[in-house]
Structure 1
């Protein structure tokens, strides 16, 4: 699957896995009530295995199916890996990742590599990390502790989605490496709701507020900044919102000042409308601004949304049934009363209906 789309996330995150039928037939073990003990049984099996000098890695195939296997780093499992001969542990981890036919054994194998793997194992760790919903946490931990972690994590982050993207981007934020700063504010947000877990971290670690002067010549940075700001309007309970992002006011002002010089696109219209709606419905302190700052940014956004070229673009997109514009024309931007979605707009033969607010 990776060879068919080498630069994109795997379809359905690689599912179904080879053991999908078994997992459907048998209920999976639940985590223990005391989560601090969830790796004890795995560590016991590993200790017993490595205590037998002649035991082959294949003896562990299927050994973990009936116990709970955590997908994140676990101290008990890591300690068991460090108690045994490092070469034997590494070879066992390599075998399980390459040959195990159930996800539990493969997860334990990856945990062993996360504890004792070497740079030679990076390609294998990256490959199984592409199955990121299940193996993303351990893969990113394994890569994070190895030399060359920046390049290997960037490679993986570019090719995973969903929870896997959360794990990879959060690992890059923890590194706080200057080498990641060009990528973080330009590539991280992919439209998934889970982006809310890291958008604020990205803006902070990438020092976005120090790069505002680049907006004039870097449309990719400007567009992605709009996506980050959009995510921070809804991610309460997940990550940093605009209210808690200390540079919200200055970044919003710079975005509003520069986005209008770009050609109108559906995504730009959508982002500006969502941000304007948020500024309309939230008090200034909830967007990190004074009332005067909030009002100035809102006025700039509303002016853009009222421009004829932006309205034309939005009308055409709505006629083409773009889901983002359908949402805006319905209830997504109800309080803005946007001219693009006004009653019976008929420019160039395109007829549009009233939005839901107008009907009431």
Structure 2
């Protein structure tokens, strides 16, 4: 088995961001505490015999034994078995007191680059953070490309580099999910200009949800100063629109009402859009701002610093821009786009402008559609449209394969998107009693518990009077096979009605 470092190195995406397919799945395995022994190898093949009963609790002493006597086995075993990371600061303080900086650094590098288990790798990174060897940066950046290790690499870079900004920028830009979120959340008011510029112009975007970092981008990134110029470039204009729309949408972190400069920032954004909006994403941004301005809670906002004059001026600016006739043609053109962002922007614009987007959405789901595409289609479902929607769903979804029973989860990873689409369809069918029964019964037999829960909810919403004859027997079979006691009880309750 390769070391974790070698595994990540072999999967570095040449683009400089993220990992190639297969890179996220680390090669280590959980240690089986139920067995009396086992092997915990270094990547060079040295076998370290695992004896749980002999593990000491004094990690600094284990580090000292490793670097002075060469006895690595107890340390490696302890790192794999204990929740070392929960007490890391205390342990590192004890390691510093050993006054063995050089040997400790060498141990840290070996743990970071040769270990086959993630906990020793993390501890090795932490030991590298006690020194200042410039040669460690490349190792830290490589390991940091896997989001399991990004924050450990961040702490080590920040602690050891006289000018950490270039490495921190490379680290943050090299990941796109929770690793990026964690790095950006740790950027403070002393963040350097390159990181601020990166954050403002797109570093806030991530694969989880932009709302996690939008407030940091607006504040740490300096959104208002950046917009307080006569002209801005397209990259900054698009980023500013995305930041403010994410704040308006709200969600997991600070939202628009937590951003003290929101009135100024929105005024500046709408001013720039009024002068130079040219793409449909600019219309969408304007419409989202308008939706916010027309929403509730304005008495509270006036009390918190907004003023009525600015509010009214913004509303007029948005409405005037949205009334321009060019947006209709752009929307119709972009409804045929195969690009996800462009198509979804066009769908939003179509809803605002009163354009029927149903034909375009139907065309899209016939190909490689996402669960979000299906949700958008079913949001437009009517009694007349539903049969056509279900015909396409029958062609797209392998119903016979999806309903394999609660105990058969083989291959579920490869079919996860299909299960998500089935979930969307069954959820929407609650509004159409008695229709699409084959989808509901398939969902009732699925290995994914959420599918079964949604089937029960839809059948509950329909009521027994809308059930076809085979629903009762399918429910009885589902109750007998259901492994989850809560779901089983809800199924059984349906049979009593």
Query: Could you say which TM-score interval applies, normalised by the shorter chain?
Result: 0.7 to 0.9
Q: Does 1:16 align with 2:25?
A: yes
Residue aligned with 1:304, SS: helix
Match of 2:331 among 295, 301, 314: 314
Q: Does 1:105 align with 2:120?
A: yes
Larger Rg: 2
The answer to whether the 8 A contact 1:119-1:147 is kept is no
The answer to whether the 8 A contact 2:337-2:343 is kept is no
Q: 1:96 and 1:198 mapped to 2: Cα distance? A: 32
* Structure 1, 194-203 or 91-100: larger mean CA deviation: 194-203
Match of 1:283 among 280, 289, 297: 297
Match of 2:16 among 3, 7, 22: 7
Partner of 1:81: 95
Partner of 2:355: 342
Q: Residues 78 and 268 from structure 1, CA distance in 2 versus in 1: closer, same or farther, beyond 3 angstroms? A: farther
Q: 2:316 and 2:208 mapped to 1: Cα distance? A: 28
How big is the shift at 1:95? 0.5
Partner of 1:239: 253
Residue aligned with 2:249, SS: coil
The answer to whether the 8 A contact 2:31-2:81 is kept is no
Partner of 1:48: 62
How big is the shift at 1:280? 2.3
Q: 2:197 and 2:230 mapped to 1: Cα distance? A: 13
CA displacement 1:224-276 (0-9 Å, x = unmatched): 1111112212335x433211211101110111111244453343333333333
The answer to whether the 8 A contact 2:109-2:128 is kept is yes
CA displacement 1:72-111 (0-9 Å, x = unmatched): 8831232133122111111111001111011111111111
How big is the shift at 1:205? 2.0
Q: 1:43 and 1:88 mapped to 2: Cα distance? A: 21
Match of 1:92 among 81, 89, 107: 107
Q: Residues 107 and 246 from structure 1, CA distance in 2 versus in 1: closer, same or farther, beyond 3 angstroms? A: same
Q: Residues 42 and 261 from structure 1, CA distance in 2 versus in 1: closer, same or farther, beyond 3 angstroms? A: farther
Q: 2:358 and 2:115 mapped to 1: Cα distance? A: 61
Q: Residues 273 and 169 from structure 1, CA distance in 2 versus in 1: closer, same or farther, beyond 3 angstroms? A: same
TM-score by length of 1: 0.78
The answer to whether the 8 A contact 2:65-2:72 is kept is no
Match of 1:175 among 178, 190, 194: 190
Q: 2:107 and 2:173 mapped to 1: Cα distance? A: 29
How big is the shift at 1:24? 10
CA displacement 1:20-53 (0-9 Å, x = unmatched): xx249889xxxxxxxxxxxxx9972342231452
Q: 1:265 and 1:25 mapped to 2: Cα distance? A: 57
TM-score by length of 2: 0.58
Q: 2:241 and 2:340 mapped to 1: Cα distance? A: 18
Q: 2:109 and 2:284 mapped to 1: Cα distance? A: 47
Unaligned 5+ segments in structure 1 are 28-40
Q: 1:213 and 1:311 mapped to 2: Cα distance? A: 30
Partner of 1:32: none
* Structure 1, 142-151 or 319-328: larger mean CA deviation: 319-328
Residue aligned with 2:210, SS: helix
Q: Residues 78 and 148 from structure 1, CA distance in 2 versus in 1: closer, same or farther, beyond 3 angstroms? A: same
Q: Residues 229 and 319 from structure 1, CA distance in 2 versus in 1: closer, same or farther, beyond 3 angstroms? A: same
CA displacement 1:175-227 (0-9 Å, x = unmatched): 33244332221121225344333321221123221222336132221211111
Q: 1:73 and 1:267 mapped to 2: Cα distance? A: 47
Query: Which one has more relative contact order, counting CA pairs under 8 Å at least 6 apart?
Result: 1
Unaligned 5+ segments in structure 2 are 1-9, 35-54, 364-375, 384-497
Q: Residues 92 and 191 from structure 1, CA distance in 2 versus in 1: closer, same or farther, beyond 3 angstroms? A: closer
How big is the shift at 1:113? 1.4
Q: Residues 25 and 48 from structure 1, CA distance in 2 versus in 1: closer, same or farther, beyond 3 angstroms? A: closer
Residue aligned with 1:233, SS: helix
Residue aligned with 2:250, SS: coil
Q: 2:119 and 2:244 mapped to 1: Cα distance? A: 39
Q: 1:26 and 1:230 mapped to 2: Cα distance? A: 49
Q: 1:295 and 1:325 mapped to 2: Cα distance? A: 30
Aligned residues: 333
Could you say what the CA RMSD is over the residues aligned between the two structures, in angstroms?
A: 3.7
Q: 1:116 and 1:342 mapped to 2: Cα distance? A: 62
Q: Residues 193 and 311 from structure 1, CA distance in 2 versus in 1: closer, same or farther, beyond 3 angstroms? A: farther
Partner of 2:271: 257
